[in-house]
Amino acid sequence: MSKKKLRELAINRDWCKGCGICVSFCPKKVLELDSKDKAVAVRPEDCICCKLCELRCPDLAIEVLIEQDKEDE
């Protein structure tokens, strides 16, 4: 099976309350809190699509969108 590739880390800024759970438990340190205390993906290229941020987010504000497998590659 090919490696999952991130399409987008969709973060709903209106719902995010900046608790920092996603930032702390991301195994690849992809996320950080910005000056407004909202989560942002600063290193999306490191994301391994484990979805731990999405599963643990208490505000249901994160969605890890994965690129569909491309057959022709």
The residue among 12 and 44 lying less far from another protein, judged by its C-beta, is 12
By CB under 8 A, is residue 20 in contact with another protein? Answer: yes
| CA 60 – CA 36 distance, rounded (Å) | 18
Minimum Å distance from CB 58 to another protein?
A: 3
Backbone angles phi and psi of 10, in degrees to 5: -85, 115
Number of residues that bind another protein (CB under 8 A): 18
- Closer residue to another protein (CB): 4 or 72: 4
Alpha carbon of residue 49 to chain centroid: 8
| Comparison of 42 and 55: residue with beta carbon closer to another protein | 55
Tokens coding 31: 């996320």
Instruction: In whole angstroms, give the CA distance from residue 73 to residue 59.
Output: 37
* Residues making contact with another protein (CB under 8 A): 14-15, 17-21, 24-25, 52, 55-61, 63
